[in-house]
Amino acid sequence: MEFGLWQVWEAGWVTAILRGASITILVGVVSMAAGLVIGIACGLIKWARIFPLSLLVDAYTSLVRGVPELLIIYLLFFSSVEFVTKVVTAFGYAGVAESGYAFVIAVIAIGAISGAYSTEVVRGALAAIPNGHIEAARALGLSRGRIFRRIIAPQMLRIAVPGINNVWQTTIKDTALVSVVGLQELMRISFIGANSTRHPFIFYLIAAVVYLIITLVSQAGFDGTERLLRLRTGK
């Protein structure tokens, strides 16, 4: 095969791929942050069984987890175009609506998906906190806010780290699905490169390697965090 890595480099695809990878990471991080906010809020609702809200959270998590991610992205992308444009324009970013449109949809879709999985992780972590700790804090007369800040939140975070790691790995991989609606992230760039050079094998292989690097590096980061948390709590 005459077409090799050198040609990919020469035609400037490497910078395009790196640009795509940075967009992938950006979408991943922003969606994960949104997902965590959703996850902590919904997880608390589910854990505390706040009545009508917990039903809605249940519906949300089972809906999102039971329907293919691709379908969710298609649905949001094709049907809510107008909605997003309006929201963004209302905040005075009409220009962003044009260029950042696919990005906004991507973050909404991926954030909603990672939020559903984070909810389960947070709920599980909350349920794993020994009841005695909370009762003891209550007996000491700590206020509810302080119990949450000092007792519940730190333990929850520590227990949730491995689960959050799993959600992150899934989230970063789910970003590849957004390529189908045209966001120029890693997968989309590889797709364009594969089609225009007619060398899909090399381009998708490069994409796979870049994703692997991202997941392995972040895995190492999470392992480090876990060790650190374990050291600090002396376990």
Partner 1 sequence: MKLKILMLLAGLVGGMANAVAADGELSIGTEGAYPPWSMSDASGNVTGFDADVGALLCTKLAVKCHFVVQAFDGLIPALKAKRFDVIISGMSITADRKKEINFSVGYAELANMFVAAKGSDLAGITDVDALLKALDGKKVGVQAGTTHAHFLEKRVPNADLKTYDTLDQMQIDLASSRLDTAFADQSALQDFLDKPDGKNFQLVGVEIKSTFDPTLGEGIGVGIAQDNTELKAKIDKALCELIADGSIGKASQKWFKTDISRPCN
Partner 2 sequence: MELIQLAVPVLLKGLGMTAVLTVVSVLIGFNLGLGLALMRLSSNRLLAGFAKYYSNVFRGTPLLVQIFLFYYGLGQLSLIKDNPALWWVVSDGARCAVMALALNTAAYTSEILRGGLMSVPVGLVEAAQACGMSRMLRFRRIEFPLAIRQALPAYGNELILVVKGTSLSSTITVLEITGYAKRLMSQTFAIFEIFAIAGVLYLVINLLLIAIIRSTERVLMRHELLSRDIRSAPNPEGSATVL
CA atoms within 13 A on the CB side of 81: 6
CB of residue 74 vs partner 2: minimum separation in angstroms? 6
Q: Are 83 and 160 in contact (CB under 8 A)?
A: no
Residues 16-55, one symbol each (x = binds partner 1 by CB under 8 A, - = not), give x---------------------------------------
Q: Is residue 112 close enough to count as binding partner 2 by CB under 8 A?
A: no
**Which one, 155 or 190, has the nearer CB to partner 2?**
190
Instruction: Name the one range near partner 1 by CB under 8 A: 72-80, 121-129, 167-175, 208-216.
Output: 72-80
Contact with partner 1 (CB under 8 A) among 5, 48, 50, 89: 89
DSSP per position, 194-235: HHHHT-HHHHHHHHHHHHHHHHHHHHHHHHHHHHHHHHHHT-
Q: Which does 233 bind (CB under 5 to 8 A by kind): partner 1, partner 2, none?
A: none
Q: Is residue 91 close enough to count as binding partner 1 by CB under 8 A?
A: no
Enclosing H/E stretch for 140: none
Measured CA to CA, the distance from residue 206 to residue 191 in angstroms comes to 11
Measured CA to CA, the distance from residue 30 to residue 204 in angstroms comes to 25
Q: Is residue 213 close enough to count as binding partner 1 by CB under 8 A?
A: no
**Which one, 209 or 228, has the nearer CB to partner 2?**
209
